[in-house]
Structures are given as C-alpha cells and as structure tokens.
Structure 1
Amino acid sequence: MLSRGYIAFRGLLSRTGCLNIEQKRNAQVSIVGAANEIGSNLAILLKQNKYITRLNLYDDDEKVLRVGAELSEIPKGPVVTSYNGNSFLPASIRFSHLIIMVSRVPRRPGYTRDQMLEVNAPPVQKLCRTMADVNPDAFLAISTNPINSIIPLASSLLFRYSAYDAAKIFGITHIDTCRARAYASKALNVNPRHLHIPVIGGHSDKTITPLFSNITPSHYKVDPCQADTLTRLVKKAGMEVINNKLGIDSATLAMAWSINEFADNILQAMYGDYVVVNSYTSNPHYGTRFFSGPTRVGCYGIVETCNSNFNMTEYEKHILGNAITDINKDVARGEEYARVIAEVKH
C-alpha cells in the first residue's frame, strides 16, 4: 500500500489510494534503459498515452538525452525529461507510479541464460537499491532477460532492502501472448484483436506454454496439429528474430509494442479498473515460487495471480510439466545470485 506521506506529497491519489479518475492525465512513468531500441520505441508509444503527465527517461548511455530532446519536440502528450548517469537514477524514478526496466544486454546466438543473468543482474540490483531508497511504493515492471531468474533476483534484493511488495513487481511476458495471438490469427484468418490466448509457465524456449485449447472467443478452434505447430512457433519466436537479425540484436519493435500494451493496462488499473496482463510474478499455484500467466491487477497491485483452473490438453500438460522443472531451477539460480551479489556489495 502507498504510504500516507507519499500520497500527501504527490497529491495525485484519491482517498482509496487509486489515481484520481477525474484527472485523466496525472501519472508519472519512468523508463530505465530508454536509450536502447526497445526503450526509445517504448518512449514514443508512451508519449501518446492519455494517462501520463510526466515521462522520465533514464540510461547510462548519454544517447538518452538526444532521445528525450527529440520527443520533447512532439507538441502533445506528457512532459519528457531525460536523465543520464548513475547519480541521476534517483531523480529519474522518484515519485513515479510505474517504473519500467528495459535495460539489457540483448540475447545473442550462443549466449546461455546464466551468462545473460550475470551481465544483466548488476543494473537490476542498482535499480532495486535506488527504489528502496527513494520510491519503494512504485509498481516495478521488468522486461530484462532472463526473466525467469531476474524477477526472483529482484524480489530477493528488494526483500533484503526492506522494500519488497509481491503485489507490485512484474516480469513482463506480454510478448508471449501477443505472439500467440498473431500466429493464431494467421492460422484462423481472423483479426488478432478478437483473440485472447493465455500463455503460462515461464519466459524461455523451454518454459513458454501457450494454451491454444483455451482460446477465446470459444467458437474459434485450434486443432491438435495446428496447436503443435503454433506452440513451436511461439517458443522459438525470440530466437527466430535473433537469427533474422544475424545475431546483432533481439526483438525490439514487438517488445516495445507489447510493453506499451502492458503499461497501458497497468495505468488503467491505477485509475481503479481491474485489468488482466500476462506477467511473471510471485505465484505458488503450480509448485513454483514464480510463474507466468494471466494476472489480475487493481490499483494496489496484483489481485489474483494465474491459477491452475485451466482445462488443458494432454499435450499442454506435458509441456507444462517439463517447464515447471526448468522454472524451479531458474528461480533458484536467480535467488542464489541475489545472495552472492548482495554479499559482494556488503
């Protein structure tokens, strides 16, 4: 729950703790990692968001200053402020209601998830430490890979820093359900806007589990042969993008689009609505401590995590069974790495 001092200082929250519904543009959002391709594309999408008053851009790369300067030439939307360098991280996230971290070293051919964790963990730790100091009440959404380990790492660090709220930390896996909708719409020759497909498990080739048997509206049907093909496509989509880009970068445009859709939903929740987003969160329902899937969110954070009420085919159950083993390993890896880096720093 947001602290009373924070609410009073900002004057942006109603008596219930939700953002004031009557003021349609009064949220502050920070993008950490705004100089990279995902961050800059996300920034221009959020510049059009009707809920945001201030959009703060942060990056270690001074390129973020040029990104901010260019966005400031657009004569509509939120005020954009850019911050560059470690000393400006606190200012960039102070008072923000939603902090989105897209900083990352992109996945490349031959990279193991252990290597990605080692490279991407330090900026996550820096953000968690800073959040604990200046803005522990914010929603934190992370797209930095490997998400299966990064979210347990960030959760462990925030707990160590006495700033952990399981209802307000999200691993953004919205890209998985976006891809599932896109592939299914092509197979069924329908508009993807009309489709909803839960994708559960984790966020890696081995743990992504699309549930095409649960597609809605229910009059659309995906036969077992199609489901097998579509599942393989969704699982391999990330690596396919890397191969198409000749190993230079991973998905950027689709990631920015899906993170923007996620952020827009979260902002709606802050105004008092209940929304459902696909995210990797603290979740004990499947025998793991963290799990990805449709997550119900309200103005105080997560209301209901993905539960085990899905009717799955035997094929989906088999995939999920294998995924759970890998998720538990990934969670343990992230929590152990949090212990190691915390001890090194202290």
Structure 2
Amino acid sequence: MKSFHKSIFFTKAPLGGCYKYKDIFQIYPADLEGMPKSRLQRHFPNVIEYWTVPEEKLSFSFSDDDDDDEYLADLRSLTATTITKQERILNLLSTFTNNLFFRQSSPEGMWGMPILSDDPGVDANSWESKWCWEMYFFPGMPDQLKIEGFTNQIIKPISMIHYPEYYYEYPHLDSDRTKEVTLPSIISELFDTYFSLEPALQKSIDSAISYTVSAVELSDRRKTLSLLSSFTSLETMINIEYDGVKIEKCEACGQPKFSVSRKFREYLLKYIGSSDTNKKKFNSFYSLRSKLVHTGRQLQTETLFAEVEKETKYSELVTRIEILQLGKLGIVNWLYHRYLSAS
C-alpha cells in the first residue's frame, strides 16, 4: 500500500510552474496558508509530493539502545525512508536540469542575523545575531503537508526547452534568481530510463549522480573540488560503459592498448559529440584533470579575492561551466541513448 508524502524543498531560482512525472512524484511552488515569504530570499520554497511503499522501508538507529522505544524507532524509520526517497528525486532533478534542487539538511545550526523586515531602514542597527536552526517552519505547516494522494494542480507547467540546446545554450546554473527554472524536453524520458534500470546498475548511476550534485553544490565555494567532482562523475560513467570489456595489452610493451585517457576521450566523443574540435578539447580537459589530481594544483580563481587577469577569470569560468555540463551530459546522454535504443 502506498503512503503519500508532501515535503518542502528549495531552488535558488523561482520554480515557475508544476511538473508531474507519471504517478511517481510532482513538484510545484509552495503556496501554503501562512507560509513565511521574503522579497530578499535566495532560497525559494517548493513542494514535492511522492509516495513510498513498505518494501522501501529503512531501519535506522544512532546506537544499539535506540530501538527500545517502538514509537521513536518507527519515527526514525519513517524519516530515513522518506528523506532517502526525496533526496533521490531531488538529485535526479539537479542532474537532469540546469538548477540545484535541495532540501535543508544541516542539523548543527549556525549563528545568523534574522531579517525582521524586507525594508528595515535604521531599525536594522538594533538587530543582533541569534543561534538559528536551518529550518523552514511555521504554525499550521504540518497539517498542510498531510495528503492521501497527489493534489490537483491548476497552475501552468514548468517551461521546457528543446534538447540538446537546453544544456548548451541555457546553462542557467542558478546565476539569475529572477529567471524561472526550466526543464529539458526529454526529462520524462530520462526518468523512464533511470527507473527501468536494474538495481545494481541504478546504484552505479546513483554514484555518478551524487558526484555531479556535489559539483553543483561546490561550484561557487570550492571551484577546484567542484571540477574534481565532475571528473569523478564522468569516470564513474566510463567505468560503467567499459565494465566487462576486456582490454588488450600491447605485445611489445605490455601496456593496455586502451589507456585511461583514451577511454575518457572516447566516452565523451561517443556521448557528447565526435569532432576534431571536441577531441582536442576533451584531451585538454583530461590534461587539466591530471594536473589537479597528481600535482595538487588549484584553479587560479580558487580564492575569493584572487589577483588574476580578467581574461583568466573568464577563461576559468567558461572551463568550469563546460566541465560541469559535461558531468551532467555524461549521465543524461548515456540514459537518453539507452532510451532510444530501447524504443
């Protein structure tokens, strides 16, 4: 029997509409009675509705004594099950789109300055920092999150942009908080393929997706680590592609005929695009990856106030965007090729 759930998640740009994937889940902007709103917000509250079944139930405990209380044990199990399902969907959305879909997840709290008014004026001089939980909550919210099935939505659907232009010409990447989130035209086909994968293969794809999401999360704060996460995502997909393929060795020198760098290049030529220009670019990306991994080198723009030329800043920005999109497309195009082959 299905249990339906309704939760809050966030984007860094307005969602702008509703998207429902079959009878699996749906997302739309939050418009709950009494919900907090701010003209200054950088995280936009949205709703995700989805379901779980008993077969998905997870058990979780902090220690061996946790299960003494049956109520708390059931609550921990429900929390683990729903958050796991929710994060899987949000990670897929973050990978398939040009935006980050996320939930609040820090349990530690932080010092923060509550913004008591959108236009405080001189009153802000009397404000002081408070210890804050990273939490979106208001009285009456729990009751509004109870559902027994998908709610009917009468708002417009989220706008879709044709594939593959979506990834090449519209790399939004949350750079403009006034520009609404859009979706690629093949997003439902990507979900179809992902959910049809056998569990072992799906788990491997999940690893690549996790690295891509980390690349997105780190893109503005830890630029070099973000690149490395994208490269790791690509290499995870390459391992999937060549799993079980026997690599011949050169009779003269004993080295593999299909080197790691060649597999990297050939995978991208197959799933991104085959051309002399791309071949040269992919070789340069692998060279950058090797320098980062083996020499400890960082991007010149790694630090916030790096003293570098404008040309260098722009060049590294373009490189970061290209590699971030390659990490996404390494997964997206693999899934879409699989979908087309099965059609």
Q: TM-score, normalised by structure 1?
A: 0.27
Q: TM-score, normalised by structure 2?
A: 0.28
* Structure ranking higher in strand proportion: 1
Q: Which has the larger Rg? A: 2
